[in-house]
Structure 1
Amino acid sequence: MNDIILHHYPASPFAEKARIMLGFKGLAWHSVDIPPVMPKPDLTALTGGYRRTPVMQIGADIYCDTAMMARQLDRIQSMPALYPEGKEAIAASSAHFADQVMFQHGVALNFQPHAVAERFKGMPESVMNAFLADRKKLFEGGNASRLHPSQALSQWPTLLGRLEQQLKDSGTFLLGEEPCIADFAWYHPLWFVASNKASAPALEPYPQVRGWLDAVAACGHGEPSELASEEAIRIAREADPAPLREASFVDPNGLALGQSVTVAAVDYGVDPVAGTLVYQDAEEVVISREDDRAGHVHVHFPRYGFRVEAQK
């Protein structure tokens, strides 16, 4: 089965980035709802411990991080391109900035006390406390420290002012007449701010930004259909990983194919995933692993932003 499966939950900003990329491509996909906090036993069976949201699955191939998902979506359907030809470096670099810096600011605005109260209004206090405790643990051990809301508020006019000016000068989208990975990466933290009526006023002074948000949102979410997590695991178990591409890449640290390694994000959610290194190039690292429930899977990571080490 070569259908796209997205493991996500509705309120996740990065999941919204993935959903809007699928809409931009006009693709059909299966939606697996996952818990917003750990434990996530069905997802862990597929990833081996990667805990961030979302995760994309195609058969027995598991794609971690939206940057990796975007590259795979461009392989599946080259046009319209998420990484536009001739603008690959600036698109990827702008997207990385947004995924790091803008995301931290969006989260900080949503973690102001009145914004937290609004997001969890009507829910038991235990749900809010569990979520906050999970997010605190998510940032432990990585090199990304939580941005204080007051600092985010101080820097917000700088970041949004720059975006407002560029959109005023450049037109509908950031790098041309069509949206690309840069637009979707800048979009999702601002979507997160807009989704909470306690933080949404932070967007009011920026009409160009609000118009651009509407234009990106018009890409939609493609054609999702619901799928149970147990079914996704069965699909992985009954499939074989896709054949790997040929690559003559030489690892700068001397890691070789067939070696036992761990792969972990370096900023937050740094839980390592162990497996056998089966593919690597300048953008991608793939490990093979076995799971009692999911069987033999290949887990794909972007090279940038992840640490690959020989297993100890």
Structure 2
Amino acid sequence: MSDLILHHYPTSPFSEKIRLVLGYKKLAWKSVIIPSIMPKPDVQALTGGYRKTPFLQIGSDIYCDSALICDVLEHLQPEPALYPAAHKGLARVLAQWADSTLFWAAMAYNLQPKGAAAMFSGVPPEVAQAFGADRAAMTAGMTRLRALDASAAYKSYLRRLANMLEGQDYLLGDAPCVADFSAYHPLWFTRHRVTVLADILEATSSVLAWMDRMAAIGSGQMSKISATESIAICAGTAGASALDDTTYQDEHGIPLGSRVTVTSESFGAEATEGELVAATRMHYTLRRQDERAGTVQVYFPRIGYVLKAVIAS
């Protein structure tokens, strides 16, 4: 298998989710640090348009969205399992809630004026302004919670997590699953990036103890490479997906070989365009060409993404 290359940046919450999954599965991986805001020319040489963080590269295969990355890592390293046999469906549903509803409540709380001021303390005002403008563009059209509403929701969600931890170390039993990693990362952001607001966690001591257990997992065996090196690896590698791409499931009347776009349903809705080479029950695969990266296969989960045919003008 080619090296696992994670494109991320240190303060990205979804990246922390995947870093911990890599640690849980004791996988060696290479780190490429990417910008937190646009422009991202090296990122888009690989993804073709997708700009969210993180994404996983294996040779010339690019896996977008942390939910799909978890599936890829589970396939490559089945043990310890992210999807426990007794709770596979529940683990996925809880993870999806945590990555969406819990995440957005936490971030609306975290990025209220007091939290944002702490995050950008000591940096030039134009840096904070650029970050705000970038995130405003990514969330255009989304309904976002106001800070006071987010605070109330966040407190309720923390209590619900505490309820789940009664009598057990992790959300669904005695070992972490995908739901734990998904619920952890927005709380991690509160605890480590906006410490001025982290007292919200103190009312749920069992959640804090669980967070300590999650943090102790660590992030595995990491080594650093540059974006230029990762693009060269892509250009020099023939595609060999870690996922099963052979079963075609057509929900759109779009045949394989068609020119298509895939776009996030909401946050970060930049489109990736390419040739549709696979559409399975769980994911889409697009093949595209880039002058630096060569032939690239870009993978998206079905859930949360929109597939459309490109209409020739």
SS at match of 1:285: strand
Q: Provide the C-alpha distance between the structure 2 equivalents of 1:246 and 1:115, rounded to a whole number of angstroms.
A: 43
Indicate the residue corresponding to 1:214 in structure 2.
212
Q: Provide the C-alpha distance between the structure 2 equivalents of 1:54 and 1:174, rounded to a whole number of angstroms.
A: 24
Indicate the residue corresponding to 2:223 in structure 1.
225
Q: Provide the C-alpha distance between the structure 2 equivalents of 1:186 and 1:168, rounded to a whole number of angstroms.
A: 16
1:252 aligns with 2:232: no
Q: Provide the C-alpha distance between the structure 2 equivalents of 1:145 and 1:246, rounded to a whole number of angstroms.
A: 35
SS at match of 1:199: helix
5 Å-filtered alignment, 1:285-304, equals: 285-304=284-303
SS at match of 1:99: helix
What is the CA deviation profile of residues 17-49 of structure 1, one whole-angstrom value per residue up to 9, with x for unaligned ones?
A: 010110111111011011100000000000001
Q: How high is the TM-score relative to the length of structure 2? A: 0.96
Indicate the residue corresponding to 1:22 in structure 2.
22
Q: Provide the C-alpha distance between the structure 2 equivalents of 1:88 and 1:258, rounded to a whole number of angstroms.
A: 33
5 Å-filtered alignment, 1:1-312, equals: 2-141=2-141, 144-169=142-167, 171-195=168-192, 196-242=194-240, 245=244, 247-312=246-311
Q: How high is the TM-score relative to the length of structure 1? A: 0.96
Q: Provide the C-alpha distance between the structure 2 equivalents of 1:21 and 1:10, rounded to a whole number of angstroms.
A: 15
What is the CA deviation profile of residues 102-137 of structure 1, one whole-angstrom value per residue up to 9, with x for unaligned ones?
A: 110121122111111111111111111110110000
Q: Provide the C-alpha distance between the structure 2 equivalents of 1:45 and 1:135, rounded to a whole number of angstroms.
A: 21
- Output the amino acid matched with 1:160: L
**What is the aligned length?**
309
What is the CA deviation profile of residues 266-302 of structure 1, one whole-angstrom value per residue up to 9, with x for unaligned ones?
A: 0210111001111121111111110011000100111
Q: Provide the C-alpha distance between the structure 2 equivalents of 1:258 and 1:99, rounded to a whole number of angstroms.
A: 32
- Residue 249 of structure 1 deviates from its aligned partner by 3.2
Which segment is superposed worse, 42-51 or 1-10? 1-10
Structure 2 unmatched runs, 5+: none
Which segment is superposed worse, 242-251 or 9-18? 242-251
Q: Provide the C-alpha distance between the structure 1 equivalents of 2:100 and 2:93, rounded to a whole number of angstroms.
A: 11
- Output the amino acid matched with 2:255: A
- Residue 248 of structure 1 deviates from its aligned partner by 3.2
What is the CA deviation profile of residues 179-209 of structure 1, one whole-angstrom value per residue up to 9, with x for unaligned ones?
A: 0110000000100111121121110111000
Identity of aligned residues (%): 43
Structure 1 unmatched runs, 5+: none
SS at match of 2:196: coil
Is the 8 Å Cα contact of residues 65 and 301 (structure 2) preserved in structure 1?
Answer: yes
Which segment is superposed worse, 242-251 or 13-22? 242-251
After the TM superposition, which parts of structure 1 deviate over 6 Å for at least 4 consecutive aligned residues?
A: none
Q: Provide the C-alpha distance between the structure 2 equivalents of 1:131 and 1:250, rounded to a whole number of angstroms.
A: 39
